[in-house]
Amino acid sequence: MNTAVNQDTCTEAQEQTRAAQYYVSPEVNIHETRDDYVLHAEMPGVNKDGLEITLEGNELTLVGRRQRGDLKVPALYREPSTADYRRVFELDPAIDAARIDAKIEQGVLTLHLPKSERVKPRKITVNE
């Protein structure tokens, strides 16, 4: 409710400085195939430079910082949250952390998390 008052007095830049103190959780889709996991996270307003992906033990942290807006005028109406994005995932131990691959395109982060060779299901051929 306070934001209603602030809408009238803050420029986009000011609001973003204030909002940078907390995070919102991005929406994600996660699919698993035989070879890998694929994660898509929605982070509109974030580009490659604002992305921070860290892996500690088996805890994967995604942080997306929005590009600071250049508009100096107050908003007449606002809906998007100006907060940055953050979400933590616990990784399947089967994931080969060294081969994780990330890209971001039009505000959607795509992570490929390949499974290590040794845990992939393997077919054993039976010799006669």
In the complex, the residues that contact other proteins under the rule CB under 8 A are 1, 3-4, 7-8, 12, 24, 27-34, 37-38, 40, 42-47, 67, 71-81, 105-108
Q: Which is nearer to other proteins, 14 or 107 (CB)?
A: 107
Helix (H, G, I), strand (E, B) or coil at 93: coil
Q: Phi/psi zone of residue 33: left (φ > 0), alpha (ψ -120 to 50 degrees), beta?
A: beta
Give me the least distance between CB of 7 and other proteins, in Å please.
6
Query: Is-contact 35 114, C-beta < 8 A?
Result: yes
Give me the least distance between CB of 77 and other proteins, in Å please.
4
Q: Kindly give, in sequence order, each residue whose CB lies less than 8 Å from that of residue 112, ignoring residues fewer than 6 positions away.
A: 36, 37, 38, 100, 101, 102
Give me the least distance between CB of 127 and other proteins, in Å please.
28
Q: Which is nearer to other proteins, 5 or 126 (CB)?
A: 5
